[in-house]
Structure 1
């Protein structure tokens, strides 16, 4: 090669290196900006709620008065604690501790309740105990779960929401106390819901869950399809994520939970709307279809976590996750931080309707909790890529 050609080649190579470096820098800046934008959205939506509900002991009124340690508020605090891990603002911690103190770290119906909705608050109590191990924070929830285990009864989770409300508590206690009995008992309860309750609430063919025994076949949606409620399936996604995040790698049932998670995410992916959301009724868009935020957020949570853990193929799930996250941010989040398109409480597509951008659900807290869980995992994904 001549001296002149070598010079030209060197210049071309140098230009390519510089262009590549510039492109990498641009990508890095883009990821940094995206990460910052995600965090700002989470702060915006959470600040809206904390400012609206400054008194953590204030009962909630819809059709009647309810204490503020019910499942709806418990799910919000799940999201808040996730936000605290990526954005350690002392206000978040104090707000959660104040909630626990105002309810004496207790459960709505006492230490002998078997209701997963009552137990849900225990997820946050245990998180706060890990930060500051004050005995009162853990006493009632541990006593309650020990009571359930001592009973030998495993058919409490008759509706799939309960799997998310209670199952991660068993996983957390098993890890904290290095005690297999918590892992074994939650497995028995989970398998009862999946394979026994109502003939089994999980449909392996469609890779989705029926909400409870009222919706197993021969029940059909108006279009003849099975009824798969998006938020209900979202609860199972969240339960499996939270349990898998806690279980030791060598725990004997982990592989089975992982298999169920991957299959469920396949069923979820197949039903996403073109606009990024999921319908309330996953297989019948004509039966109270339309975008819905809580189910969508829980699916984003599962996809982002699965990608972060190397469990889900990013090439397959990343586009769907990004489309769903952007759809929620652009279409559901109000300038005030209020979340639109949020279905109210219930058990099926027709409940809590109508769902629209401006509709206010009977409870605002659980929807925000789902959104915070989703956003924190999206944030982690962007942070890992920087």
Structure 2
């Protein structure tokens, strides 16, 4: 299998140039950061005031699909720093409408379906109503008690599914959920497609179809920005939950650090990341969702003493400023959001004015990023 080697001196040169380019930027103003987050969220909540309404993109889908689940991940993080009652009511009403269940019920093995469980658990922690966890527990117990571990055969699923296991394991004080989470993650990481995590490049192939000999037009491996963002965010959300003495904590932490180093090398001069991390000319241009997820991870790393503040704060500030200044419309609409898909060519064109097929997950990614930037000292 082709493994692209990175010359150490080239990495250090690129890294040093990137740091030099962003030194001296002003520190993020917390009020301005919060104002930007609230503005984008207000746009969404007003446009989608009816949280019960189905999605009709191509076909009818209920509103508890993964795209909306990601939005609510961001909303619950926003609520944690800005506990506005309307935010709670919006999330609670949505969950109640769906009876705290998934679009294909508690028997589903599809991580896209049970992504909503992240919000159900967050709300349970605030209200402690047992009905909120009935389907979540039934679903994960089914997964725990069946032998297969290869359900997450595309890396997006890592973000949709892993945090549910981590959150429920902590909430119920049940290590069995941590164990199954590792088994499924390890299968995706090391077995599916020969292992979807390329340790030499520090990045993930989206699924087995993109493992070499598949390449981008420039001959590089195909590393899709948002796909890698999903994994990066999942590692953050797991590390933020599980005990530091959990037996696989250090492996998750190592993967997070490896990815961080790889992602820094791919940042554009303007602060964004391209849809294609190793081929900037293949549908090159600003892209908000991957950028938001990378900001989220790096800011969390700084906030938790995992990443060096002096090194990473300028990188984070540059990326966050780029989104705030270049992507947010006056009405709160978020530009440069790549539509759904699995590779750089999907959901194109990605422009300031283009409307993605689903905009909820893009806003959810942005909220995750904004909350962590807001927390930075």
TM-score range, shorter chain: over 0.9
Kindly state the Cα deviation for residue 217 of structure 1 after the two structures are TM-superposed: 0.3
The SS at the match of 2:29 is helix
The SS at the match of 2:191 is helix
Give the counterpart of 2:319 among 308, 324, 327: 324
Give the counterpart of 1:147 among 132, 142, 145: 142
Q: Does 1:302 align with 2:268?
A: no
Matches within 5 A, 1:1-386: 34-381=29-376, 385=377
- The aligned residue for residue 17 of structure 2 is none
- Return the alpha-carbon distance in structure 2 between the equivalents of residues 177 and 68 of structure 1: 27
- The aligned residue for residue 12 of structure 2 is none
Superimposed CA distance per residue, residues 313-367 of structure 1 (whole angstroms, 9 cap, x where no aligned partner): 1222111111000000000010100000000000000100000000000001000
Kindly state the Cα deviation for residue 153 of structure 1 after the two structures are TM-superposed: 1.1
- Return the alpha-carbon distance in structure 2 between the equivalents of residues 104 and 329 of structure 1: 36
- Return the alpha-carbon distance in structure 2 between the equivalents of residues 285 and 250 of structure 1: 40
- Return the alpha-carbon distance in structure 1 between the equivalents of residues 250 and 144 of structure 2: 23
Kindly state the Cα deviation for residue 65 of structure 1 after the two structures are TM-superposed: 1.2
Kindly state the Cα deviation for residue 133 of structure 1 after the two structures are TM-superposed: 1.0
- Return the alpha-carbon distance in structure 2 between the equivalents of residues 342 and 56 of structure 1: 21
Higher Rg of the two aligned structures: 1
- Return the alpha-carbon distance in structure 2 between the equivalents of residues 179 and 135 of structure 1: 16
- Return the alpha-carbon distance in structure 2 between the equivalents of residues 175 and 124 of structure 1: 14
- Return the alpha-carbon distance in structure 1 between the equivalents of residues 307 and 139 of structure 2: 35
- Return the alpha-carbon distance in structure 2 between the equivalents of residues 346 and 136 of structure 1: 34
- Return the alpha-carbon distance in structure 1 between the equivalents of residues 307 and 284 of structure 2: 27
Q: Which of the pair is proportionally richer in helix?
A: 1
- Return the alpha-carbon distance in structure 2 between the equivalents of residues 352 and 269 of structure 1: 24
Kindly state the Cα deviation for residue 73 of structure 1 after the two structures are TM-superposed: 0.2
Kindly state the Cα deviation for residue 307 of structure 1 after the two structures are TM-superposed: 0.4
Runs of 4+ with deviation above 6 angstroms? none
The count of aligned residue pairs is 352
Please give the root-mean-square deviation of Cα atoms over the aligned residues, in Å: 0.9
- Return the alpha-carbon distance in structure 2 between the equivalents of residues 43 and 251 of structure 1: 35
- Return the alpha-carbon distance in structure 1 between the equivalents of residues 165 and 59 of structure 2: 31
The SS at the match of 1:176 is helix
- Return the alpha-carbon distance in structure 1 between the equivalents of residues 178 and 127 of structure 2: 24
The SS at the match of 2:145 is helix
TM-score when scaled to structure 1? Answer: 0.90
